[in-house]
Amino acid sequence: MYLDYFLVFLGAAIPWLELGLVIPLGIISGMNPVAVIIVGFVGNMVTVLALIIGYDKFKLWLTKRNEGKEKKESKRSVRAKELWNKYGLPGMLMLGPILIGTHVAAFIAMTLGASKVKTMLWSTISISAWAIIFGVVTSLGFDFFVRE
């Protein structure tokens, strides 16, 4: 049983899996929805906070790694900049989990000059809101199909 929750934690912590996949899968597999939401939230927050806190070191490492290489922006980076320009930090981080991923949204926010404190605040709000939304919608939707 604890292994299942550990896998939810781990899945939520991994970029590109995140909340939108892990929480519904956990609930559909029969796990407690409230526990899945909490574990998924914590798993995602741990790595996003680590990214925000360690951003300066990561940026330095990435710069050294990419020295002399031609840099091409990814589709996710382009989408994140569009979100930033249109909605600002709160909008980008609130839409991030469903459009580009929480980790990418936080990283791009930091790259575009957002403060660590504001990025942490909006990431926390966004991740908690989306964890609840994914959990509730999955629980209600799954319950709808299971009812006789």
In sequence order, what are the residues at sequence separation of 6 or more whose Cβ sits closer than 8 angstroms to the Cβ of residue 68?
Answer: none
CA-CA distance, 125 to 30, in Å (whole number)? 27
pLDDT at site 122? 96
pLDDT at site 145? 54
Query: Positive or negative, the Cα torsion across 137, 100, 23, 58?
Result: negative
Q: Which residues of the chain have pLDDT under 70?
A: 142-148
pLDDT at site 112? 87
pTM over 0.75: yes
pLDDT at site 48? 94
pLDDT at site 142? 65
The pLDDT tens digits of the residues spanning 120-142 come to: 999 999 999 999 999 999 988 86
User: Within 66-74, where are the H helices?
Assistant: none
pLDDT at site 5? 95
Q: Compute how many other C-beta atoms are within 10 angstroms of the C-beta atom of residue 98.
A: 15
